[in-house]
């Protein structure tokens, strides 16, 4: 019995050490990506987090892409790399591909092998249908996997009614509530201008919110098995697993591609057989007939698919994270 207890204690110690080591590993360096419309306060939040004016403020409504995009600083005992992604979510859907190279380029360069957290920035303001549209757009961009790493951060916290917590404020709006739930209800509020100094309330003080935010990120990273986010392409999955995880449209297209290959081959085989041995073709006409109908059917499917693709290109939304 005594030995049993010893073994149990040994196991617990081992588990504790492993957990500790896991935490240490990602505490070593956390990579955070800031996302949101121009003017929402990304650069300001970056500065609030790292504690000095590193990121330049944007002037005017045009998205600014100049200036350094990442800074590394020790904050509350963690080494943080904060990456600013200017101009994301400002643009119309037609520019999605530009944004895509923009964000993936930046996160790849500064965030290898991947970020630990996406901070999706929104303002505390009245939500008009236009803002709701932006939220819908954000949800379109983010895969479920990326949402597991996402925390919503509200800026302009001074607009938050007195004594109200940000969660309660956000839940009043359907689109925000939906977004919040998809992000595991992770959300924080800052006011990059007004909450710089400790006030009467801890809640309305940026430094406290930074601490809370970093804890939230830690918890999310832990829940995600201590790993950072990597896009599906980087994951070590078999071709079959990838195919199974692909959108249905892709699966159908791939299937039709294989069909097209088979139909061409059967067409060719029949033509060769006709040349080499017309009698054999005559004898097997019923079978060849069945094959030919099947081919025609597949061709029709393929035509349908091509039309579908034109339709798809018209609306070029895609999940990019």
Ligand X SMILES: Nc1nc2c(ncn2[C@@H]2O[C@H](COP(=O)(O)OP(=O)(O)O)[C@@H](O)[C@H]2O)c(=O)[nH]1
Both tokens of 152, joined, read 């919503």
Residue closer to ligand X by CB (options 40, 134) is 40
30 binds, options ligand X, Mg ion, none, Cβ within 5 to 8 A by partner type: none
Largest Cα span, the chain: 98
Smallest distance from Mg ion to CB 143, Å = 25
The SS3 of residue 74 is strand
Smallest distance from Mg ion to CB 22, Å = 34
141 binds, options ligand X, Mg ion, none, Cβ within 5 to 8 A by partner type: none
Q: Are 77 and 47 in contact (CB under 8 A)?
A: no
Site for Mg ion, residues 57 to 96, rule: CB under 5 A: 58
Smallest distance from Mg ion to CB 35, Å = 11
Q: Of 29, 182, 193, 299, which lies in the binding site for ligand X, with binding defined by CB under 6 A?
A: 193
Both tokens of 24, joined, read 């240490």
Angle in degrees, 0-180, between the axes of helices 42-50 and 206-223, rounded to the nearest 10:
90
Smallest distance from ligand X to CB 108, Å = 21
Q: How far apart are CA 121 and CA 190, in angstroms?
A: 10
Residue with token string 């303001």: 125
Residue closer to Mg ion by CB (options 37, 204) is 37
Smallest distance from ligand X to CB 156, Å = 4
Beta-bridge partners for 83? 33, 70
Residue 56 DSSP one-character state: P
156 near ligand X (CB under 6 A)? yes
Q: Is 262 exposed, middle or buried (0-12, 13-18, 19+ CB in 10 A)?
A: middle
Q: Of 81, 107, 150, 155, which lies in the binding site for ligand X, with binding defined by CB under 6 A?
A: 155
Neighbours of 1 (CB within 10 A): 5
Closest CA to 213 of 193, 241, 189: 189
Q: Are 38 and 64 in contact (CB under 8 A)?
A: yes
206 near ligand X (CB under 6 A)? no
81 binds, options Mg ion, ligand X, none, Cβ within 5 to 8 A by partner type: none
Both tokens of 63, joined, read 């998205």
Q: Are 212 and 265 in contact (CB under 8 A)?
A: no
Residue closer to ligand X by CB (options 40, 180) is 40
Closest residue to ligand X, judged by C-beta, is 41
Closest CA to 84 of 95, 71, 98: 71
Beta-bridge partners for 151? 119
Q: Given the rule CB under 6 A, which of 17-25, 37-45, 161-169, 264-272 is the region that contacts ligand X? A: 37-45
Q: Of 32, 34, 43, 152, which lies in the binding site for Mg ion, with binding defined by CB under 5 A?
A: 43
208 near ligand X (CB under 6 A)? no
Q: x/- string (CB under 5 A) for Mg ion, residues 2-41?
A: ----------------------------------------
Q: Are 42 and 186 in contact (CB under 8 A)?
A: no
39 binds, options Mg ion, ligand X, none, Cβ within 5 to 8 A by partner type: ligand X
Q: Of 30, 31, 33, 39, which lies in the binding site for ligand X, with binding defined by CB under 6 A?
A: 39
Binding site for ligand X (CB under 6 A): 36, 38-44, 57-58, 155-156, 190-194
Binding site for Mg ion (CB under 5 A): 42-43, 58
């Amino acid at each position: 019995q005594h030995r049993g207890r010893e073994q149990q204690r040994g196991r617990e110690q081992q588990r504790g050490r492993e957990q500790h080591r896991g935490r240490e590993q990602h505490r070593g360096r956390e990579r955070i990506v800031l996302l949101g419309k121009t003017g929402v306060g990304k650069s300001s939040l970056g500065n609030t987090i790292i504690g000095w004016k590193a990121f330049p403020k944007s002037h005017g409504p045009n998205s600014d892409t100049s200036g350094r995009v990442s800074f590394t600083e020790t904050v509350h005992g963690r080494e943080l790399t904060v990456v600013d992604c200017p101009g994301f979510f400002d643009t119309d859907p037609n520019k999605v591909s530009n944004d895509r190279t923009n964000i993936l380029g930046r996160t790849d360069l500064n965030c290898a092998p991947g970020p630990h957290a996406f901070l999706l920035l929104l303002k505390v303001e009245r939500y008009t249908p236009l803002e709701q549209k932006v939220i819908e757009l954000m949800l379109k961009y983010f895969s479920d996997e990326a949402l597991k790493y996402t925390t919503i951060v509200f800026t302009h916290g001074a607009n938050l009614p007195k004594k109200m917590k940000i969660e309660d404020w956000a839940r009043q709006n359907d689109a925000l509530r939906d977004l919040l739930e998809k992000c595991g209800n992770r959300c924080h509020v800052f006011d990059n201008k007004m909450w710089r100094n400790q006030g009467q309330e801890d809640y309305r003080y940026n430094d406290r919110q930074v601490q809370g935010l970093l804890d939230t990120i830690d918890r999310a990273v832990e829940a995600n098995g201590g790993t950072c986010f990597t896009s599906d392409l980087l994951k070590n999955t078999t071709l079959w697993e990838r195919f199974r995880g692909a959108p249905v449209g892709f699966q159908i297209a791939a299937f039709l591609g294989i069909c097209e290959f088979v139909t061409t081959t059967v067409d060719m085989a029949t033509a060769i057989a006709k040349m080499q041995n017309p009698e054999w073709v005559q004898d097997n006409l019923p079978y060849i007939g069945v094959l030919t109908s099947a081919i025609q059917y597949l061709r029709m499917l393929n035509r349908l698919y091509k039309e579908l693709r034109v339709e798809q290109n018209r609306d070029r939304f895609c999940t990019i994270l």
